[in-house]
Structure 1
């Protein structure tokens, strides 16, 4: 028996591109024992996902190449293992769940078929595979599991799709589960449920968990040890508490300092005339009532955060305010003019004042356009804003503002990480110098230090240019640092509305208190206390 279940020794991975060789992983080493949870912490481009892909043999070669190292599973080097044996290891001994389950679940097959396939590929009979698929969906908490077996991925919520992927990964009871950003896009309560589920399953099966994340709160909640990666190198390793309380490397200290939820809360002054006044907005989709009479006021230069779980109506409200969907009733007065009554020509002129940053930049950015084309398109549509001779200079300025560089303007969206694509989307929204920006989970996929930079940028724009924000988010620490007022939504209703201090320090509704309790603190001692309090309340 080897000393460790998994041992990575001096692993280096490089990619050969037209721009030269990119050294994505540089001589890293770490180990993982049975029943243990190890977190790999780092920002986009740090190499954490590439290193885990090497474990699963998911690196395209070429252009990728493992230039050095060993990956030992129970002492056997996976890198020298024959292909047919390596295929037996994946799924049966090592399984993986990904950040975006919708991209990794086949949209044309039911989830039951996909779970059964994982089993039958490794020799399970069809009858037994059907029974096991039902047991797995039941175990991971999918409602009405018998009917859900015949449903397709698009028929589930984001949290439910992640649970389906966990069920697939655990079908063959692997020794090691790799979880690559498994909760990034999930609401706080769903995130807490998924992390608790992973921990329960780990205790039941004794499997080891390798979790890849940029969220210090997730590390504090689930990990035993953590390794920190920067630009392909492993810069720090240790227990979660030691690394958080006594970080040795400047990069680790920067990550910890950038964690949201520790800054001074905004104290909004007296409210005057609103720039946006929303009254009794309602929306039905068939028999489903998505919005049940939403009302609020937004002042110039103010941030109104909208929080709530999936299905609460947050994104529906955003789309309706921008007339991407039409309301059934209600009004939204923008500087005294009802947005819902404007003609298409009037709305066209107003578009430059009202911009939106969507949750998924992969879908909101045209894959056939370069970054320069994506950002400058705003000036093609509204040519009076900026002379064409200054477009390239202004694109470069906007990219620098959001943490990218002028050298990125010739690239296409697929050449960036998810967090970098979101920065491009924000730069695109800023190009028109709008007076209101609606951010629909705009920073949820960003690394903690980039998130801090973008929030600081948005805050500066608000102060310097008087831009107002409607900030839809599930990350409550970010809301705490950025918002003036908070509107809590549940099942199409506004259940609580107040200043950020009122909502965070003296919440009036049980639902709000549950949301706040589900948040994760980056300090492992604080998170341990919060967790103990949750367990006590549950019992």
Structure 2
């Protein structure tokens, strides 16, 4: 037997571009043992996903090329295997779950068919495969598993799709499971459930788990050891506690310092005349009640965080307030004007005051438009705001305001990182000088340091320009650092409302306490106590 289940030695990966070769991974080495969880921690562009893709032979070659190194699984160098030999390893010995299961599950086949295919492709007969598919869905706690076999991926929630992906990955009982950002877009309670499931399955099977993440809380919750990557290089390695408590590299210290949830809480100003008054808002889709009598007031210049699990009604509320959807009943008065009784012409004029920043800037920014075109489009729609002669100058000012530069004007969205694209989306929202910005999970998919920068930017804009924010989020540490008041929603209703200090320090409702306890702390000692407390309550 080899010394380690997985051993990566001196691995380098480069990509050929028109500007020359780019070193995505630079001579990294690490190991993983059976029954152990190793986290690869780093921001976008650090090379963590590329290095794991090399293990599965998922790098597009060309333009990619593994220029040096060995990848040993039980002493066998995977890089020397023929394609036929490699197929015997992928799936059977090594499996992978991805960040976005909807993109990696085939939309035209049922999940039962897809799990069965993973088994039959490696020689399992169809009767055994059908029984095993059902067993796996039961094991990953999919509701009504017999019916779920015949459902398509879009018919499941995000957390359920991730469980289906885990079931597929474990179908052939692999020795090594690679999890690439498996919980980034999930609610805190669902994230905790998925991570607990991975740990349970690991205990049952003895597999090694390689988890790729930018979330220090996930590292503290599930990992035994961690390696830190920056710009393709491995800069630090050790046990989770060693690296968190005594980081040696400046980059690691920067990541730890950027972790949210440790800053000073906002103390909101005395409540004044509200700018937005919502009363008894209701919305039903078929037999599903998305909103059940929502009422609240929003003060000028404050940040109201709206938290809750998927399906709680947060995004439905945002869409209705922006008139992207219509309510069944209820009122919403913006500075005394009923939003739902405005004529199309009146609503058109009001649009400039109410803007939105979406969760995924890749989808909300037109890929065929340059940054200049994306931002100046607002002034084409509302030509009375700014004369055309001043557009270029104002775009440059907005880019500087969000931490970019005038030189970025001529580039397209795909030429930026996720954090930079979100800054462009914020600049576009600011172009109309809005009074209210609704942020719908605007920072949930960003790296911790980029997330900290974007939150600092929004807070700065709030103070300097008096902008009011509705901040929809599932990341409670970010809410703690940024919001003035918190509104907790569950199944279309408001179950708790209060200042950040009230909700985080003395929550009244059991649902709020469950959300807070499911949150992950980057400190492994604190997280160990929280994990032990959860296990005690469970048993």
Please give the TM-score of this superposition, normalised by the length of structure 1: 0.97
Partner Cα distance (1:92, 1:408) in 2: 46
Q: What CA deviation, in whole Å up to 9, does each residue of 1:268-311 have, x standing for no partner?
A: 12101001111110000011111000011111110110111111
| 1:2-13 superposed matches below 5 A | 2-13=2-13
Deviation at 1:421, TM superposition (A): 3.5
Aligned to 1:66: 66
The answer as to 2:338 corresponding to 1:332 is no
**TM norm structure 2:** 0.97
Distance 1:405 1:229, change over 3 A: farther
Instruction: State the distance in 1 between where 2:173 and 2:37 align.
Output: 16
Aligned to 1:515: 515
Does the alignment pair 1:484 with 2:484?
Answer: yes
Query: Alpha-carbon deviation of 1:516?
Result: 0.5
* Secondary structure of 2:91's aligned partner: helix
Alpha-carbon distance in 2 for matches of 1:164, 1:184:
16
Q: Return the alpha-carbon distance in structure 1 between the equivalents of residues 262 and 439 of structure 2.
A: 22
Tell me, yes or no, if the aligned pair for 1:36 and 1:209 is still in contact at 8 Å. Answer: yes
Alignment correspondent of 1:149: 149
Mark the CA change 1:304 to 1:242 in structure 2 (over 3 Å): closer, same or farther: same
1:377 aligned residue: 377
Stretch deviating more after TM superposition (71-80 or 307-316) = 71-80
Q: What pairs with 1:102-501 in structure 2 (closer than 5 Å)?
A: 102-501=102-501
Q: Could you say which residue in structure 1 is the equivalent of 2:35?
A: 35
The answer (yes or no) to whether the contact 1:7–1:73 under 8 Å persists in 2 is: yes
The Cα shift of 1:398 comes to 3.8
Distance 1:103 1:410, change over 3 A: farther
- Paired with 1:178 and 1:231, the residues of 2 have a C-alpha distance of 21
CA distance in 1, matches of 2:390, 2:211: 45
Distance in 1, matches of 2:202 and 2:95, equals: 13
Residue 383 of structure 1 and its aligned partner are, at CA, apart by: 2.7
- CA 469–485 in structure 1, closer or farther in 2 if over 3 Å, else same: same
Shift of 1:119: 0.8
Change (3 A) 1:153 1:410: farther
Is 1:159–1:186's contact at 8 Å kept on the other side of the alignment? yes
Instruction: Find the counterpart in structure 2 of residue 503 from structure 1.
Output: 503
Alpha-carbon deviation of 1:95? Answer: 0.7
Structure 2 partner of 1:46:
46
Quote the Cα distance in structure 1 between the aligned partners of 2:491 and 2:344: 31
C-alpha contact 1:44 1:419 (8 A) present in aligned 2: no
Aligned-residue offset at 1:423: 3.4
Q: Quickly say closer, same or farther: Cα 1:176–1:498, change in 2 above 3 A.
A: same
Secondary structure of 1:352's partner? Answer: coil
| In 1: Cα distance, 2:152 partner to 2:407 partner | 41
Instruction: Determine the C-alpha separation between the residues in 1 that align with 2:181 and 2:116.
Output: 25
Name the SS of the counterpart of 1:251 in structure 2.
helix
- Measure how far apart 1:356 and its partner are: 0.9
* Secondary structure in structure 2 of the residue aligned to 1:178: strand
Provide the secondary structure at the position in 1 that maps to 2:351: helix
**Deviation at residue 362 of structure 1 after TM alignment:** 3.2
Distance in 2 separating the partners of 1:192 and 1:484: 26
How big is the alpha-carbon RMSD for the aligned residues of Structure 1 and Structure 2?
A: 1.5
TM-aligned CA distance change 1:129 to 1:392, over 3 Å: farther
Q: 1:91 to 1:394 in 2, by over 3 A?
A: farther
Deviates more, 1:374-383 or 1:249-258: 374-383
Q: Deviations over 1:18-64 (max 9, x none)?
A: 23322111111111111110001111111111111111111111111
Partner residue in 2 for 1:24: 24
Q: Any stretches of 5+ residues in structure 2 without a counterpart? A: none
> 1:422/1:123 Cα in 2 relative to 1: closer, same or farther (>3 Å)?
farther
Kindly indicate whether the alpha-carbon contact (under 8 Å) linking 1:402 and 1:453 is maintained by their aligned counterparts in 2.
no
Contact (CA 8 Å) 1:8, 1:31: kept in 2 or not? yes
What whole-Å deviation, never above 9, does each CA across 1:453-491 have from its counterpart, x for those lacking one?
A: 110100011111111111111100000011100000000
Residue 507 of structure 2 aligns to a residue whose secondary structure is coil
> Secondary structure of the equivalent of 2:453?
helix
